[in-house]
């Protein structure tokens, strides 16, 4: 197994950071590494907001559900899906641009996620820790206003970056047999049941935040109180009409 694969398999979310700042030159290189990710038709439909203002960070932390590590990490980035830049570039060529298509939303969101994951991997290769912040979608309009995001741009997630001050265990993943299917989709109930046992043991034995639950039960909030029903209307108001 080479070092890249080892690195990819060792990811942990870091929520405690030291006071050591990330050199600006390194941060710029991480963004450049992010730009090396695959992008649909070379659209590069993303913009990254480097939030440096402490007051803005505190406000985002509150809007994202009280996540203090947004304030305490060395650097905080907000990754935005951006269809403003490519549509306007196309328009300047004289093209008859159509906006608001669902495919444009998908392209921008996927491009942003791929770019961010490159940044995350590059950061971890330099000994940094990261934590994605999906909680910014709790209040996307307020965060868009704070960051002065224009129409056809929306915040997908944030990312905390910094030098780790703790060493959490690597969280188990589903068995490959549940994910990798040959030729056709097949039922994976047995693998999920076995994985629930694995995750229950992990949650009970990990070094912090112990709890008595498993993977299936831990999914409940995603289908109960974290549905974010406001997102559809928000995206339409952003210009992503999903036509």
| Exposure letters 68-84 (e unless 16+ CB within 10 A, then b) | ebbebbbbbbbbbbbbb
Higher pLDDT, 226 or 164: 164
| 62 within some domain | yes
Residue 23: per-residue pLDDT:
98
| 9 within some domain | yes
| Least confident window among 90-94, 144-148, 221-225 | 221-225
| 190 within some domain | no
| 215 within some domain | no
pLDDT tens per residue across span 88-116:
999 999 999 999 999 999 999 999 999 99
| 176 within some domain | no
Rounded to 10 deg, the angle between the 102-125 and 24-35 helix axes is: 130
Angle at the Cα of 36 from the Cα atoms of 4 and 96, rounded to 5 degrees = 150
Q: Is the pLDDT of residue 209 over 90?
A: no
| 65 within some domain | yes
pLDDT tens per residue across span 15-24:
999 999 999 9
Phi and psi for 77 in degrees, rounded to 5?
-120, 145
Report the C-alpha gap between 200 and 194 in whole angstroms.
10
Residue 208: per-residue pLDDT:
83
Q: Is the pLDDT of residue 154 over 90?
A: yes
Q: Could you tell me the pTM of the whole model?
A: 0.96
Residue 221: per-residue pLDDT:
87
| Exposure letters 207-226 (e unless 16+ CB within 10 A, then b) | eeeeeeebbeeeeeeeeeee
Query: Which pLDDT band, with edges at 50, 70 and 90, does 64 fall under?
Result: very high
| 32 within some domain | yes
Q: Which domain holds residue 77?
A: 3-170+228-237
């Amino acid at each position: 197994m080479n070092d890249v694969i080892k690195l990819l398999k060792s990811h942990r979310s870091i929520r405690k950071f030291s006071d050591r700042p990330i050199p600006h030159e390194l941060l710029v290189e991480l963004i450049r590494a992010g730009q090396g990710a695959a992008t649909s038709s070379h659209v590069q439909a993303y913009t990254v907001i480097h939030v440096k203002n402490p007051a803005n960070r505190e406000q985002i932390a509150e809007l994202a559900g009280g996540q203090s590590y947004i304030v305490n990490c060395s650097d905080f980035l907000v990754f935005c899906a951006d269809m403003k830049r490519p549509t306007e570039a196309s328009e300047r060529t004289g093209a008859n641009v159509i906006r608001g298509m669902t495919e444009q939303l998908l392209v921008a969101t996927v491009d942003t996620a791929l770019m961010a994951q490159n940044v995350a991997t590059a950061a971890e290769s330099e000994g940094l820790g990261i934590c994605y912040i999906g909680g910014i979608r709790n209040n996307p309009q307020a965060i868009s206003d704070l960051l002065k995001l224009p129409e056809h741009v929306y915040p997908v997630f944030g990312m905390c970056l910094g030098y780790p001050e703790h060493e959490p265990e690597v969280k188990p993943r589903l068995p490959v047999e549940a994910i990798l299917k040959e030729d056709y989709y097949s039922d994976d109930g047995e693998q999920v049941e076995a994985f629930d046992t694995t995750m229950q043991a992990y949650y009970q034995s990990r070094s912090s935040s112990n709890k008595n639950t498993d993977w299936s039960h831990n999914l409940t909030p995603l289908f109960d109180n974290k549905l974010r029903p406001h997102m559809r209307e928000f995206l339409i108001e952003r210009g992503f009409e999903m036509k």
